[in-house]
Structure formats: structure tokens, C-alpha cells
Amino acid sequence: RLIKVPFVGMPVEIDQLGRGKITKLIGKNALVAVDVLDGRQIEWPVSSIKPILVKDQVRFDTVVQPRVPVKTVKNDKISTLNRALESLRFGLVPEQYIEELTLGIEELNTWAQTCFARIMFNPRCGFEVNGPYGTGKSHTLALIRYLARKKGLLTARVEVDGQNVSLSNPAPLLYSLWNSLAENDLESENPLLNLYVKVIKRGNIPTSVINEDYDRIQNNIETIHTLMRTGYLDKYTHVVDAVISSSNEFTGRQAVKIITTEPNLDRSQIKLDNMIGHRVKERPYDFIESLAGHAMLAKLAGYKGLVVTIDEFETEHKDKKNLVRVE
């Protein structure tokens, strides 16, 4: 059995809560975005988190351990219901039950469809869902994403707490945002990279995506296309995805240096760019450019557009004594 040293972005599983992804390491604990809790992040001891190996790929920080029997859940339905109850305990409704457990869904659906119609006419528009604490804002946003996907729109979401994820630091925000694309029909471990691949396979490689002067997305999509043609994309999936999704694991330069060790690739063929640049004053523009550019990619991949929800949320911190809720 392979026990992996935890790292940001690592897919994991927590007993009773199910699968999620590590978003931050805090000493002996990790902040985990739990799938069944609609991405709600929970601080959990690393020792109680089970890593999930993906496609038998082994990172350099893995350690071989003796095989230990693994308990299996015999009844998938019971497991699903247990996770649904856990989700409800945190004030969230699992998507498979969202229509049945939403009061006033007809009215909300009518409003949402009006919003979607405006998006089709003018994709650069925004809407606000507001109200006092506990009135169902997060639930409403979840319903909007659910209805948007049924409409053929690509959805992404991010929850900001002003600490671990904040609008003032757009790179971690984008990383959380693009990993949520897995809620769509995209490959779960590298959803943003999968979006690029869908665009390429449809033959929709644009000459320019969003910026005629220096187009980061264009450079990235051309590099991914090159790696697909040369058969190296599978080998460097983790490196490429880390850069394009704004992970802090690799810079664009580091990724290019790693990839161009291949004898039949040179630096002129490989151009990978982090979406957020080094100049602090330009980072808000980089953030908007990333959103707008990937909205264009969503259409090129066959979706009707991109719907992004940004939610303020509470982080659950677990210590030895109790769970402390922090607004």
C-alpha cells in the first residue's frame, strides 16, 4: 500500500464525509474541501485522512507501507444516505435531492432562467444573492449551479472566507474555482485541463482567446496541444494542470524546465503561464482576464457559457475539544 505525504490539491477521503481535496496544510491538520458538503472546507487531522491514489500515479513523496485490509461499504445506498445526512447537518442539501428539498423552487427556477437568458445575450453580467445569515444564500447558489448545468452551462464555484481564500489573493481563489469544474461532466482530478483537451479535440483552437498583446490562455492551450501531439501529456498532466489552475506547486518557468528535458521538445514549443502575474497592481485584471478567457473556452468546448458563483462561507475548525465555527 502507498501512504502519500499530504500536499495541496491531494484527493482524499474522510470517514462519514466522503471524498474531498486538500486546500491547505495547517501543522498536523489539513483544510479539506469536502465534495458532499458542496465544497465546504473543514479542518481535519492529517492522521485521520485517507489519500486517494489516482490512475496508479505515484508522486516522488510517496512511501511504501505494508498492505493493510481496507473496510468496504457493502451498501452504497446506505453510504449515500449517510453522507446526505452529514451534508444536511452542515446546512447543505445534496444535489441529488435539491429539487425535492427546496421551498419555492418554481419561483427560483423562473428567476434563474431569466438570468440565464441574460447571460446568453450578454455574458458579461453579474447577479447578487443577499440576505441575513441562515436564510439560504449558499443553498440558492447551489440551486443556480444545478439549474445552469441542466441548461448546458459550465459552472464553477468558490467560497471565500477572507483568510485562506480571498479576493485580495486571486491565485488560491482561482485554484479553488477551477477545481470545482469537476461538478460538471469533466474529468474529476484535472477538470480545467480536461476543458482545454475538449476544446482541442473539437478542433476549436483559437488564434487569440482574450488578449492580443500577450495571451496566457492561448500559450497554455498551444502547449497542451503540442504535448498531446507528441504523446507527453499523460506524463506531465500534474505539472501542466498545476500551472493552468493557479496552484502554487509550480511556476510556469519551472514547468517549462521540467517538460523540456524531453529530447524532442524545446523551449520554443513549450510556453506555460500562470494566470496571475507578479505585478500586484495588475492582479485584479489578471483575475478578470482568467474568468473571461475561460468563459470563451467553455463555449469553444461546447457549453453555452460559464456561470461562476462566489460565496462567503464559514470554515469549520476541528480541535481536540470541539468544532469551533468561525464566521
pLDDT digits 0-9 by tens, 108-118 = 999 999 988 88
Q: What is the pLDDT of residue 77?
A: 53
Tell me the C-alpha to C-alpha distance, in Å, between residue 81 and each of 13, 76, 101, 105: 17, 9, 14, 22
pLDDT of residue 25: 82
| pLDDT for the residue numbered 262 | 92
- Average pLDDT over all residues of the chain: 80
For residue 291, give Cα distances in angstroms to 197, 219, 322: 18, 16, 38
Q: How confident is the model at residue 1 (pLDDT cuts 50, 70, 90)?
A: very low
Q: Give the list of residues 6+ apart from residue 124 with CB closer than 8 angstroms, or none.
A: 292
In a domain, 54, yes or no: yes
Of the candidates 221, 200, 198, the one whose C-alpha atom is nearest the C-alpha of residue 209 is: 221
- Using alpha carbons only, what angle is made at residue 181 by residues 176 and 186, rounded to the nearest 5 degrees? 145
CATH number of the domain enclosing 25: 2.30.30.140
Q: How confident is the model at residue 70 (pLDDT cuts 50, 70, 90)?
A: very low
Name the pTM for this structure: 0.70
pLDDT of the residue at 91: 55
- How far is Cα 188 from Cα 277, in angstroms, rounded to an integer? 27
- For residues 276-286, give the mean pLDDT: 89
Q: What is the DSSP letter of 169?
A: B
Q: Flag whether pLDDT at 284 surpasses 80.
A: yes
| pLDDT grade for 89, boundaries at 50, 70 and 90 | low
Decide if 31 is inside a domain.
yes
Question: Between the CA of residue 221 and those of 218, 256, 280, what are the distances in Å?
Answer: 5, 14, 25
Q: Is pLDDT at 2 greater than 90 in this prediction?
A: no
Inside any domain, residue 304: no
Interval 153-209: pLDDT, tens: 999 999 888 777 888 889 999 999 999 998 888 877 899 999 999 999 998 787 767
pLDDT of 60 = 37
Look up cell 459550465; give the residue: 154
- Residue 60 placed within a domain: yes
- Confidence at residue 261, expressed as pLDDT on a 0 to 100 scale: 93
| DSSP secondary structure string for all residues of 79-125 | HHHHHHHHHHHTT---GGGTTTT-TTHHHHHHHHHHHHHHHHH-SS-
Number of domains in the chain: 1
55 within some domain: yes
Q: Is 104 exposed, middle or buried (0-12, 13-18, 19+ CB in 10 A)?
A: exposed
- Is residue 9 assigned to a domain? yes
Look at residue 302 and tell me whether its pLDDT is greater than 90: yes
300 has a pLDDT exceeding 50: yes
CB neighbour class for 23 (10 Å; exposed up to 12, middle 13-18, buried from 19): buried
Task: Give 320: exposed, middle or buried? Use CB within 10 Å, 0-12, 13-18, 19+.
Answer: exposed
In angstroms, how far apart are the furthest CA atoms of the chain?
61
Q: Do the domain assignments include residue 28?
A: yes
Domain contains 12:
yes
| pLDDT average, residue stretch 207-235 | 86
Domain that holds residue 57: 2-74
